[in-house]
Amino acid sequence: MNQFPHDSPPTGAPMPVGPQPGHSLAIASLVLGILSLFFMFIPMFPAFIVAIVGIVLAIAARKRGNTSGMATAGLVCSIIALVLTGLVFVACFMCACAVAPWMWL
């Protein structure tokens, strides 16, 4: 006969601790958020792609219950990189229009 009904551990026993759900997604979103900040200074399209993937991973990590700061930091870094990359793209386009306006007619 089993001394613990329903195969539950005895009261007062420590519960096994595993990794927090979405932990790998949070790490990946943080890494991609930081990389997108660096990719902003090279041709801009990789920064857009990396930032969007970082945002998606951060949101997925938070939906899976990850409450650590890594998912939030990845989300914030990716959003900042996406906004700054957009501003750099608009600034470059405006400079190109000012230097050679006949190319855009």
Residue 82's contacts (CB-CB under 8 Å, 6 or more residues apart) are 36, 47, 48, 51, 52, 55
Establish if 13 belongs to a structural domain: no
Structural domain contains residue 56: yes
Q: Is residue 60 assigned to a domain?
A: yes
Q: Which residues neighbour 104 within 8 Å (Cβ) at sequence distance 6 or greater?
A: 96, 97
At residue 8, the pLDDT reads 60
Query: What's the domain count of the chain?
Result: 1
- Assess if residue 66 is contained within a domain: yes
Structure confidence at residue 31 (pLDDT) = 94
pLDDT confidence of residue 76: 94
> Quick one: pLDDT at residue 69?
87
Residue 92: predicted pLDDT: 83
Residue 14 counted as domain residue: no
**Domain membership of residue 73 as a residue range:** 40-88
pLDDT digits (tens, 9 = 90+) for 58-69: 999 888 888 778
The parts of the chain modelled with pLDDT lower than 70 are: 1-19, 43-44, 103-105
- The DSSP-derived string for 49-89 is HHHHHHHHHHHHHHHTT--SHHHHHHHHHHHHHHHHHHHHH
